[in-house]
A = this chain, B = another copy of it.
Amino acid sequence: MIDIFTLTAKELVQKIKDGKLTSVEVCKTYIQKINKFEKNIKAWVYFDKKILLEKAAQSDDRRRLGKPLGLLHGVPVAIKDIVGTADMPTKCGTKIKIGKLLSKNAKIINLLVSAGAIIMGKTATAELAYFSPPATTNPHDYTRTPGGSSSGSAAAVASYMAPLSIGSQTGGSIIRPASYCGVVGYKPTYGLISRNGVLKTSDKLDHIGVFGRFVDDVALLAKVLIKKDLNDPATVDYSTENILVETKKSFLNKPKFIFYKTDFWKLIDDKSKESFEYFIESFKKNIEVSDVPSYFKDIHIYHRIIHETDLANNFKIYYKKYRTKLSKYMQIAIKNGINHPAKEYSKAIDFMRKSHEFHKRVFKSYDSVISPSSAGVAPVGLKSTGTPEFNRVWSYLGTPCISLPLLKGEKNLPLGVQLVADRYEDHRLLRVTKWLEKECTK
C-alpha cells in the first residue's frame, strides 16, 4: 500500500498519472484525517466531502479519457477563506456579510484549476486577514494558537487534512503559522502572485503564499501560481523556469547565511533560543551573526503606518456601518489608520525603495538572511495569533521568505527557521532552502 503522506505533490501526481493511485483515493485518505481531527482543530470554514469526491472523480475521468494533465493533476488544495471562489462561499473571517465582492474565482483559483488541482474547501482566517483569530487550534497542542492570519491553511497541512494550501501574508501571516504548526511556508517576492479576486487589505503589503510539507511542494505550487496578471498591476513578468530545477542543483561553495540578532530575541522562550543557538553552532561555518541594522526599527513603524492606513481605506465602509461587528483589534487599527498623516505615509513609501537598495548589498555577500520564523513556539491560548516581529520587515520589503520546520522549542513544539533572499531571487532562495533541508535530514 502507498503511504500518501510521505509523497511530495509531484510524486502524487506521477502516481495518479501512472494509474497507481486515483484522485478519489487520495481525497478519501485526506477525508479520513478530516473526520478524525477537524472537530478539535477547526481548520475549515467550508468543506463538502461529497462535492470534493465528485471533483476528484471528474479529475480521474479526465485521465481515463486521455486528456492533457496539469502539474497538480488530481491533487487537493485547501484555500484560505479570503480567496474568492465561484462555487464556495467566501466569508473572510468576519461576521459582516461582505456580499458579492468575492463571489467569482480569484485568478489563483483559475490557475490552480487549470493545473488540474482540486479545490478542497475554504480554511479559517483571522478576521479580514488581520489579527482577531478564528476558532482554529494548533494541531500539536489544541490549547495553543496555530498562528494567523492563515490559521486554517497552516493547521490543515500540519494535521494531514490537506497536502497543500494557499494563504496570504501582510505582516507575518504565512511564516508565523508555518512555524507554529511545523510545516513549510513560502511567501514569494511581492508582485509574483496575483491578488486579483482576493480580499484586499493593503495593496503595498499583501502577498499570496503557500503551505506544504516539503520544499518541493511549495516550489511546485509557486510554479503554478506565479504569473503576471493585468488585473493586479503589482504583478511583474517572472520566469518560473528555474524554480523547480534550481531546488535540485547542488552548491559548488556552501551557502552563506547572515543572522541578525534583533531586540526581539528576548521574546523567545528559552528552549527555542537554545534550539536556534544549537542550530547556528551546527552551521557555524555557514552562518554569520550580526547586529541588526538600525533602520529595522523604523521599518516596524513604517509597516504599521501603511498597514493601518490601508485597512482604513479598504474597510472604512464596514467601520462606518457595522463598527460593533468588527473586533476591537480591527477598530483600533482602522481608527489609527484614519488619523495617520500623509507625511508619515510618504516617508514609509520612500524608505521602502531606499531599503531595497541596502538589502541588495546584503544579498551580494550572503545567500540568505536566516532567523527563527517566529518569536518562539505557538503561545498558549486562542485569543491571539502570536506576533509578527520576525516577519514584518520582510513583508514591508517584499522579499521572498520560507519557513522550514527544522527546530523544536518549549514542550517539544515546532519552531521554523526562516530564510530570506533578495526580491526576485526566489529560485535562489528555494535552492538554498533545499540545501538546508537536505543537510538537516542527513
Q: How often does this chain occur in the complex, in copies?
A: 2
A245 within 8 A of B: no
A347 within 8 A of B: yes
A352 to chain B, nearest CB (A): 9
The contact sample of 12 A-B pairs, CB cut-off 8 A, is A203-B353, A204-B346, A233-B353, A309-B346, A312-B343, A316-B343, A337-B343, A338-B341, A338-B343, A340-B341, A340-B342, A345-B346
Q: Which of B233, B306, B346, B354 contacts A310 (CB 8 A)?
A: B346
A305 to chain B, nearest CB (A): 6
Decide if A342 touches B230 in the complex (CB within 8 Å).
no
A316 to chain B, nearest CB (A): 8
**In the docked arrangement, what's the CA distance between A400 and B342, Å?**
27
A183-205: CB near B (< 8 Å → 1, else 0) gives 00000000000000000000110
A18 within 8 A of B: no
Q: Which of B306, B343, B347, B353 contacts A346 (CB 8 A)?
A: B306
A356 within 8 A of B: yes
A263 within 8 A of B: no
A3 within 8 A of B: no
Decide if A313 touches B353 in the complex (CB within 8 Å).
no
Decide if B230 touches A357 in the complex (CB within 8 Å).
yes
Tell me if A's interface is mostly helix, strand, loop or mixed. helix
Decide if A346 touches B233 in the complex (CB within 8 Å).
no
Residues on A lying within 8 angstroms of B by beta carbon are 203-204, 230, 233-234, 305-306, 309-310, 312-313, 316, 337-347, 349-350, 353-354, 356-357, 360
A204 to chain B, nearest CB (A): 7
**In the docked arrangement, what's the CA distance between A31 and B379, Å?**
77
Q: Which residue of B lies closest to A316 (CB)?
A: B343
**In the docked arrangement, what's the CA distance between A344 and B345, Å?**
10
Decide if A343 touches B233 in the complex (CB within 8 Å).
no
Decide if B342 touches A305 in the complex (CB within 8 Å).
yes
Closest A-B pairs by Cβ, 3 of them: A340-B342, A342-B345, A309-B342
Decide if A341 touches B343 in the complex (CB within 8 Å).
no
Q: Which of B340, B349, B354 contacts A349 (CB 8 A)?
A: B349
A338 to chain B, nearest CB (A): 6
**In the docked arrangement, what's the CA distance between A343 and B344, Å?**
11
